[in-house]
Structure 1
Amino acid sequence: MNERQLQILRELGELGSVTATAEALLMTPSAVSQQLRLLQRSIPVPLTERDGRRLVLTDAGQVLAGAAIEVETALAKARHTVEEFVDQPDAEVSVAAFNSAAAAFFPLLLAEARPGSPRLSLADEDVAQDQFPRLTRDYDLVLAHRLDQAPPWPATVTAVTLLREPLDIAVPADHPLAAQRRLTPRDVADHPWITVHDGFPLMATIDAIATAANRRLDIVHRVNDFAVVAEIVAAGGGLALMPRWTARPHPALVLRPLSGVHTGRHIDVLHRPERAARRAVRTVLSDLRRAAATIQR
């Protein structure tokens, strides 16, 4: 039993013929008859009977047709409720982001808030790269990062690139390397390093630097939070990769571009395709694009 079958039964009771019912519902008579047969299989008593050349409802059919009105009314209310939810401009929108993106984007999103704007629910999620798509089950929008050479996100999520951000080498302002405008893998390979934990996107670039310099890097600290990394670099704890735009500037550090290795990452916003049907989610997506332009400037 389904909604369409109940609708056909109701119309048949009012119109009195399969042909008239088919015309009213923009169906063929054979399709109407087939749906009535399928409905009858799920009901233990006859729903229709012949009255001359007319097909009419039995008492059981009339009872079920009356129930069909209640079903259609309830479904209409449900659809209206869903339509209101989808079109609600100030609905809640949940956004998750890895740490440096959260620090850069969240304040700008909050600055966009106006009466009637979406209500933001923000969270930081510092996960390995392959875990970002799974977060779209729990959040409307997920800010994720991947390296230039990394494979694309799976087709199960929609991905929009907000920024293509260079990764630079962070060195103390009084370090000898700070005097150079650009650095090479050989310039940086003999120094101690602060890196992220294994499994996180930046490790692939660290490995590429080691390969280009033909030597293993001396990794002495593993820290995922760039604010903490900056303090360690400033204290002379080593060199580190630092995003050019989303990391908070540190007065005791300078950033220098690296030649000879692809050192860039994409900051993408991921979401399940159906989430974008909501007006509030589309509004926040537009706000994220504007925030990205502000960050890049």
Structure 2
Amino acid sequence: MDERQLQILRELGELGSVTAVAEALHVTPSAISQQLRLLQRTIPVPLTERAGRRLVLTQAGQALARAAIEVETALARARHTVTDFTEQPDGDVSLAAFHSAASAFFPLLLRGLTGPGRPRLALADEDVAQDRFPALTRDYDLVLAHRLDHGPPWPRTVTASTLLREPLDVALPTGHPLASKTLLLPHDVADQPWITVHDGFPLMSTIEAIASVANRRLDITHRINDFAVAAEAVAAGAGLALMPRWTTRKHPNLVLRPLGAVHARRHIDVLHRPERTARRAVRTVLAQLHHAAAQIQNQDTHAPHPGADTTATP
């Protein structure tokens, strides 16, 4: 038995004929009769009987019709409850982000979503390999993920939108001989020691591209995923590193220079399961993320010094 069948039984009890029920529900009499037959198969006693040319409810049918009113009332309450939940402006919203995105976006979100009637954020850091980001949408409403500009797309099981297309620059100590250049090429940096991320993380593809264009294997001395830690290692003279231009904090002892001859840019995308945005609170946070992305790009505090080549900038 289902809601539609119970509704038909209730209307039959009130209207007194299949034809009248069909007119009230804007369907054919045969469709009404078919639903009544399907309902009857699930009930061990007769629900209707003939009274002359009319089909009327038996006592069992009348009892079930009264119960149908209670069922319809309960379902209406449930629908209103769901509507209230989805339209609640200050609902809880969980958001996960990898480290550099968390550092850039979390403060802007927390400041932008303060006050009554705003979503309540539950923030978490999740620094995982690229292929593991989609699975995080099972546990979080929204997930900030990264992939290279030319990397494979996200699976169709999640909805994705791009917040930033962020250039990747070469980070050097301020006194490094290459710091005087406005644009670095792979052959400029191929003989330098390198600090890079662990295998499986998107930036490794750009490191491999540098090695391919320079036609030599890079000397990778350290594997550090956290850009803040990597920045300290670069500043200490441990090697060069790739750094996102906008989402890493400015370091007083580092300079960033754009990289030419290779495609050095990453996407910062927000992933979610399609049903999550049925909630107003999630939609509010999603809109605030796009607003924060515009703020981050407009600040551009890590842009190369004047006169630098900016062809990598989106």
TM-score category, normalised to shorter length = over 0.9
Q: C-alpha separation between the residues in 2 aligned to 1:103 and 1:26?
A: 57
Distance 1:22 1:207 in 2: 69
Q: In the TM superposition, what is the alpha-carbon distance from 1:282 to its structure 2 partner?
A: 1.0
Matched, 1:138 2:139: yes
Are positions 1:47 and 2:13 aligned together? no
Q: Does 1:28 align with 2:25?
A: no
Report matched runs for 1:215-234 at 5 Å: 215-234=216-235
Amino acid in the other structure paired with 1:269: V
Secondary structure at the aligned position of 2:151 is classed as: coil
Q: Partner of 1:201 in structure 2?
A: 202
Cα distance per residue 1:124-158 (max 9 Å; x no partner) = 11111111111111111111111011121112211
Amino acid at match of 1:14: E
Distance 1:199 1:177 in 2: 29
Size of the alignment, in residue pairs? 297
Q: Secondary structure at the match of 1:139?
A: coil
User: What does the per-residue CA deviation read over 1:182-217, in whole Å, with 9 as the maximum and x for residues that have no partner?
Assistant: 111111111111111111111111111110111111
Unaligned runs of 5+ in 1: none
Q: What is the CA-CA distance between 1:179 and the residue it aligns to?
A: 1.1
Q: 2-side partners of 1:26 and 1:98: how far apart?
A: 54
SS at 2:234's partner residue? helix
- SS of 1:126's partner is coil
Identity over the aligned pairs, expressed in percent? 78
Query: Which amino acid in 1 is paired with 2:236?
Result: A
Secondary structure in 1 matching 2:259: coil
Q: Where does residue 214 of structure 1 map in the other structure?
A: 215
TM-score, with structure 1 as normaliser: 0.98
Query: What residue ranges of structure 2 are gaps of 5+ in the alignment?
Result: 299-314
Counterpart of 2:254 in structure 1 is: 253
Within 2, Cα distance between the matches of 1:226 and 1:77? 51
> Could you tell me which residue of structure 2 aligns to residue 152 of structure 1?
153
Alpha-carbon distance in 2 for matches of 1:18, 1:205:
71
SS of aligned partner of 1:182: coil
Question: In structure 1, what residue type is equivalent to 2:294?
Answer: A
Q: Tell me the secondary structure at the aligned position of residue 276 of structure 2.
A: helix
Q: Quick check: 1:165 aligned with 2:166?
A: yes
Once the two structures are superposed, what CA deviation does each residue of 1:75-129 show, in whole Å capped at 9, x if it has no partner? Answer: 1111000000010000111111111000000000001122111111111111111
Aligned alpha-carbon RMSD (Å): 0.8
The CA distance in 2 between the partners of 1:85 and 1:282, in whole Å, is 13
Residue 17 (structure 2) pairs with residue 2 (structure 1): no
2:179 alignment partner in structure 1: 178
TM-score, structure 2 normalization: 0.93
Task: Identify the residue that residue 304 of structure 2 maps to in structure 1.
Answer: none
> Could you tell me how far apart the structure 2 residues matched to 1:114 and 1:161 are?
27
How far 1:60 sits from its partner (Å)? Answer: 1.1
Which ranges of 4 or more aligned residues in structure 1 deviate by more than 3 Å? none
Amino acid at match of 2:155: P
Report what 2:242 is aligned to: 241
Secondary structure in 1 matching 2:283: helix
